[in-house]
Structure formats: C-alpha cells, structure tokens
Amino acid sequence: MPGADVHAVLAAATELRDRLLAACELPAGTLDGVVAGVPGVIEAPTGRVGLAGNIPGPEGLAVGSALEERLGLPATVENDVNLAAVGEHWRGVAQGVDDFVFLSIGTGLGAGLVLRGELHRGHHGAAGEVDFALGGDLERENDPATAGVLAFATRLAERGELRTGLSGPFDARAIFRAARAGDELALAVVEEEARRIAQHAVPIAAVADVGLIVLGGGIGANGDLLLAPIRSLLAERCPYPPRVEGSSLGDAAVLTGALAIGLRAALDNVFVNRTRAVRP
C-alpha cells in the first residue's frame, strides 16, 4: 500500500478479513490466524519494528499486537523479504535447496537467509540487513537500490560521454527498457548495477556458503540483463560461487511465504496442540 501509513494498513486488514469471510461464507471462528509482512526488522524479543525508515508509521510499533487487537486473532509478523525467501523455498525456484539467500533489490535492499531448510532471523531478528554490510561511504557508493541506480545514471548523463535517448528525471524501469534496446547510457547503468549487486552477494556467499542466490524485487526482476554478469563476477570472486537465479514467484513471493507460515501454524494447531490437549 504505497503512501499509506501503518494505521491505514491495519484498518484495511480489518476490512479485508470481513470481505474474505463474507466471500467464503465462513463464520469468523473458523479463522486460525494472521500472517503479515512488513519492511524492517521484527526485533526480538519485543516484536517491535525497527529500521523501517522507508515507510511512515511502523518504526517502534508492535505490529503483531496491533493486528491481534484489531482482528481478535493470533498474528505472526515477519520481515517481507524473509517471507519472500520462505515462499521461494516452498513453491519457487529454491525448492529442495536447504541453504540459500533471497536478495531483494528495489526501493530498498534486503535479504532473507534460509539455512538448513529454515529461515534464519539472527539474534536480534536482523539477519539479512545487507545494506549495512559495507558501511558508510562505501555502502553509499555501492548502493544497488533504486535511489542509488538513479543517482548513478544522473552522474553518467551529466558527463555527456554516452549516447542515450533517456533524459532526467530518470526512472529505473525506463533505464532497463532502454538497455534492452541497446542504449549506451542504460547499458552502462546495468553493468554498474550488476557489479553493485555482486559486491553485496560476495560476503553472503563467502560467510554462509549458500548454494543459491535468488534475485527479487523491482530491480532484481530484470534477470535477463543482470543474471549473466552477476554469475560471472561471483565466479571471479568466490572460491565456491553459488548458483544465481531470478525469483520464479515475482510479486507473489511475499504472499506465498505468508501462506506457508500460516499453513504451518494451522497444522500445528490441529495436529500438535490438540494432541497435547487431549493427553491425560
């Protein structure tokens, strides 16, 4: 919900619950729980949202408690990129891969890390915050998110050295379209973007030794332009380079991960919790 603050989203969740129940002709008591994905870190053990400066409202808010109060249901809140990783593991390109990372590049940069078949959240819930990996000026110079891409394109255009049909203010989607048409400036931006993504992927591959990196997000979805150069760069820099693939779920990755977590919780309630309840 671009542009909406968190309280508007909570209100929309309430409306959505009511509409879904009506459409399915189900009583409210048949619902088992709620799963929500939000940008930022879900801090352990408080459940409050941290590092969510890109959108208004959620910073410091315990979104799970707020949802439970609104909906009267148990709520699980997870980082949205973590959910995308779970979705790819359940139904996407990472099926059968126990150690992989989902790298989301769009308006922000984040990673969801799956190790030994389970989502790895880390001690504070902040595993995958790769935009802090390089730090300071080095991070700003190598930012692969949308703002960094557009800033680089602007600097290249100001030099006037490359032929282009593009003009500012630049748009990321237009840059990738122009690159497919052979625009010199756009191709240079794509080449730099692949280098920046690889710069962030190498430390993950070196430390976690993952078998697969899945690219997602608005920029990461341009696999036809980015996958080959990223694979080449990782092969040069990593002793054991991981396979690199584009997301097979696209925009549905986060929702698919939420469904996977919600289904697991529902099955636990049926087969685990009720079994315990009937024991003498």
95 and 193: one domain? yes
DSSP string, 93-147: TTTT-SSEEEEEESSSEEEEEEETTEEE--SSS-TT-GGGSS-HHHHHHT--SHH
**Residues 68 and 42 placed together within one structural domain of the fold:** yes
| DSSP symbol at 55 | S
User: How many contiguous H segments (helices) and E segments (strands) does the chain have?
Assistant: 11, 9
* 74 & 200 share domain: no
Spatial CA neighbour of 259 closest among 111, 73, 97, 84 = 84
Model pLDDT, residue 3: 60
Q: What is the pTM of this model?
A: 0.90
Statement to judge: residues 230 and 268 lie in one domain? no
Which pLDDT tens digit goes with each residue over 7-53? 788 888 899 999 999 999 998 888 889 999 988 899 988 888 888 76
> Which pLDDT score is estimated for 28?
80
Note whether 74 and 150 are same-domain residues.
no
* Cα(145)–Cα(107) distance, integer angstroms: 6
Same domain, 33 and 95: no
User: Are 231 and 258 part of one and the same domain?
Assistant: no
Q: Total structural domains in the chain? A: 2
Assigned domain for 1 exists:
no
pLDDT digits (tens, 9 = 90+) for 187-230: 999 999 999 999 999 999 999 999 999 999 999 999 999 999 99
Domain, as residue range, for 61: 6-80+254-278
Q: Determine phi and psi for 238, rounding to 5 degrees.
A: -115, 135
Spell out where the chain has E strands.
Answer: 34-38, 41-42, 49-50, 75-79, 100-105, 109-115, 118-120, 212-216, 243-246
Q: Looking up tokens 């129940």, which residue turns up?
A: 21
- Of the listed ranges 148-162, 231-245, 260-274, the one predicted with least confidence: 260-274
Residue 88 forms part of a structural domain: yes
Length of the chain: 280
Q: What is the CATH number of the domain that holds 196?
A: 3.30.420.40
Tell me, yes or no, whether 99 lies in a domain: yes
